[in-house]
Structure 1
């Protein structure tokens, strides 16, 4: 089951968009159901995780997230009850 729908860093924009940071991993999803499949998730530093989805992307397989597997990333998007709908990468501010 995915993590509670609470922003990890408290960064919520006026559009409901937030930034989450963590490691992209492939995990088995939907075990015990007809829709069981490996899927990409964002694992937060505290161990909670969110299934990753992208508007217009395939629900079970998205090459963008698969290319990020194993990487630490900052993603901007909106939390939904069962997934994190990603708008795009959030760039670190330059110091």
Structure 2
């Protein structure tokens, strides 16, 4: 999984364009290795070890202070799953 350009919101996302809530830990990882867009980006690591590259709606794909502030923390993110990233439109701290 790696970051890519934002596809149109045409409902062609794997979940049919429905909003999801995912919970996990925000980490910084190398993304897009072997491409011109290789960079250190943020991912959400789920409990099963799988992960999704993160992109905030309206945010910069390469630098995002909101994800930077969440690095290392467990969060709940609301958004839409895209082929190469999770497009985040809401952020919550989980209740422990």
Question: TM class by shorter-chain length?
Answer: 0.7 to 0.9
User: How far apart, in 1, do the equivalents of 2:91 and 2:18 lie?
Assistant: 16
Name the structure 1 match of 2:45: 43
Number of aligned residue pairs: give it. 85
State which of 25, 28, 46 in structure 2 corresponds to 1:26: 28
Q: TM-score, normalised by structure 2?
A: 0.79
Q: TM-score, normalised by structure 1?
A: 0.79
Name the structure 1 match of 2:85: 83
Name the structure 2 match of 1:16: 18
8 A contact 1:19–1:90 mirrored in 2: no
Gaps of 5+ in 2: 3-12
Gaps of 5+ in 1: 8-14
List 4+ stretches of structure 1 deviating above 2 A. 90-93
